[in-house]
Structure 1
Amino acid sequence: MIGKAVITIAAALALATPALAQDRPAAAKLSLTRLDCGTVRVNRLNAFSDTEAYPGQSRDLTVGCYLIRHGDQLMLWDLGLPTALKGAAFNTDGDMSATVRTSLVEQLAELGIKPEEIDVVGVSHFHFDHIGQLPDFPAAKLYIGKRDWDWLIDSGRPAWVNPQPFTHWIGGGGAVEPVERDKDIFGDGRVMMLDMPGHTPGHHVLLVRLAGMGPVLLSGDQAHFQENYDSEGVPEFNTDRAQTLASFDRFKGLAKNLGATVIIQHEPRDVAKLPPFPKAAE
């Protein structure tokens, strides 16, 4: 009798399984496109080491921004240098200077995308080379680390923290979600903002799980170039050394365990890890 009951239950489950599979919605198509958001010429590379690792050195760093297509939703990760720097010449004054060749709006137009069609903007942190073109996307919902957001809205914030690009969101003109720890942006685990403080109080990186290429980790400013990544170097302007090193531990652990492609956003040698614009990784 028990045997017959087990067979009956098994048969019922077998018949139900195809129906359940049909009811499950297909995963949204996901892709990742790199956009050119400028170049920073670092005149004093030693600024990127609090242990004086790069005396007398200089280097050009890329500024990467990224378009994520998740089904019919569009997200930008990091918003690059301000367009006021378009065509600017490099100079030797100060630690660094910067230039922009083309704007985000111009590049998106080549893909047939209007600024108002961007649903989500996520920023790794509030430094000028990651939020410069944020005001061009006022219709988008903003995701930013909560501790960075707290500094931006605090009248007692440090003088070097510039809230101006965030004015629209600070004033209530746009939707904003301060991210306390990790955030699953689209609710399916495939686009994750991950809490990696230290460079700034609320610094985050982005994990994108592509079907073909596999997991991709976009570094924000966890590291700025390969040698900096390999040595777990801490820039002298980071807000917390211990947090930076702990975040390196988490970042590298994730990269190893997931078999992820690491994209150091400022590293020119990492540009080729993704297809050239306007192609996308999928």
Structure 2
Amino acid sequence: MRRALFVLVAGTIVSGVAAFAASEPAARVTLTRLDCGTVAANDLNQFSDTDAYVGKSKNLASSCYLIRHGDDLMIWDTGLPAAIKGKPIDPKLPMDATVTTTLVEQLAQLNIKPEQIGRVGISHFHFDHIGQASSFPGATLLIGAADWNELSAKTPDKRLNPDAVRHWISGGGKVEPVQGDRDVFGDGSVRMIDLPGHTPGHHGLMVKLKNKGDVLLTGDQAHFTENYESEGVPSFNTDRADTLASFKRFKDMAKNANATVIIQHEPADIAKLPAFPQAAD
């Protein structure tokens, strides 16, 4: 009798769990690459603290990403400032940049209004990754805690420009400083990955897609393919040892997940995702 009752109760629980799972399907996740400008590294040697690129130059992409998680929308990195749209690049400067089209303009092509963006995830505090954050004042800002502490300091480092996130610094918007990794939606589909070294609070992003599989976005763990393969450390990184440790973690994660690695500044990696306005899923 007890055994029969146990089987009945267990069967009821299992059926209930199955019914709940059937009524709560996993959210569909998609990933769309957005054009956030071009960076002309006229002095590429800035990206090496061992003088690996003396006399070399390279045009780098500035890539941002739209993540759809069911009905929720998230932007990963916000690129260069919209104010430099159409600005000619000066070849005499060690580094210069321009923007062709803004994030808001591209989202409009997808019938998305800025107020529909619920989260803005930032890989790190450099100007070419926070430049258009202010276009999404209603979004929750997700940023590495150590980077946030520096941006929001009473007297920030003179090399930083907090203006793009002033809305959140002043308390006008919700900010969630991220310590370590962060499961953004609570189901493992989108994870901010702690990769300090480029900046104190630098993060990459893992996106799990049903058809394409796992995609790992570098942030600025590396800036171009050769830099990634050689694990080169830019002269402006905040911590060399942390950078190398983060390279190992990133590459181990990519290997274990058999992930598609996308170097956000590498022009050749743009083709690893469908061309805008299409999305990977």
Whole-angstrom CA distance in 1 between matches of 2:156 and 2:8:
65
Q: CA deviation at 1:13?
A: 3.6
* Offset from partner CA, 1:142-165 (integer Å, 9 cap, x none): 000000011011133321011111
Give the match for residue 46 of structure 1: 45
Q: Does the residue aligned with 1:34 lie in a helix, a strand or coil?
A: strand
Could you tell me how far apart the structure 1 residues matched to 2:179 and 2:16 are?
39
Match of 2:269 in 1: 270
What's the counterpart of residue 238 of structure 2?
239
Matched residue type, 1:39: T
Runs in 1 of length 4+ with deviation above 2 angstroms?
A: 4-19
Alpha-carbon shift at residue 55 of structure 1 (Å): 1.0
Residue 121 of structure 2 aligns with which residue? 122
Cα distance in 2, alignment partners of residues 8 and 73 from structure 1: 43
* Map of 2:86 onto structure 1: 87
Q: Comparing 268-277 with 88-97, which one deviates more in the overlay?
A: 88-97
1:44-193 equivalent positions in 2, closer than 5 A: 44-193=43-192
Q: CA deviation at 1:276?
A: 0.6
Give CA-to-partner distance per residue, 1:44-101, whole Å, 9 cap, x none. 0000000001111000000100000001110000000111111111112321111111
TM-score by length of 2: 0.96
- The equivalent residue for 1:36 is 35
Tell me the TM-score normalised to structure 1 length.
Answer: 0.95
1:17 aligned residue: 14
Q: Which amino acid aligns with 2:18?
A: A
Unaligned runs of 5+ in 1: none
1:5 CA displacement: 5.9
Matches of 2:17 and 2:192, distance apart in 1: 31
Name the aligned partner's letter for residue 23 of structure 1.
Answer: F
DSSP 3-state at the match of 1:165: helix
CA RMSD in angstroms comes to 1.3
**1:217 aligned partner:** 216
Aligned mates of 1:144, 1:89 — CA distance in 2: 31
Q: What amino acid is the match of 1:119? A: G
Q: Using the TM superposition, give the Cα deviation of residue 211 of structure 1 relative to its aligned residue in structure 2, in angstroms.
A: 1.1
Q: Take 2:90 and 2:195, find their aligned partners in 1: how far apart are those partners? A: 32
SS state at 1:76 partner: strand
Partner SS, residue 31 of structure 1: strand
Following superposition, the deviation at residue 22 of structure 1 comes to 1.2
Secondary structure of the structure 2 residue equivalent to 1:93: coil
Quick one: which amino acid aligns to residue 255 of structure 1?
A
* Structure 1 residue 256 displacement after superposition: 0.4
In structure 2, distance between residues paired with 1:93 and 1:243: 32
Percent sequence identity is: 59
In the alignment, the residues of structure 2 paired with residue 147 and residue 99 of structure 1 have an alpha-carbon distance, to the nearest angstrom, of 28
Partner residue, 1:259: 258
- 1:187-225 Cα deviation digits (max 9, x unpaired): 111111111010011100011111111111110000000
Amino acid at match of 2:153: D
Partner residue, 1:197: 196
Aligned-pair CA distance for 1:14: 4.5
SS at match of 2:278: coil
Aligned residue identity for 1:261: T
Matched position secondary structure for 2:261: strand
1:233 Cα deviation from its structure 2 partner = 0.2
Query: May I ask how many residue pairs the two structures share in their alignment?
Result: 279
Q: C-alpha separation between the residues in 2 aligned to 1:268 and 1:11?
A: 60
Cα deviation code 1:112-157 (max 9, x no counterpart): 0000110000000011110111111100000000000110111333
Structure 1 CA distance for aligned equivalents of residues 102 and 19 of structure 2: 43
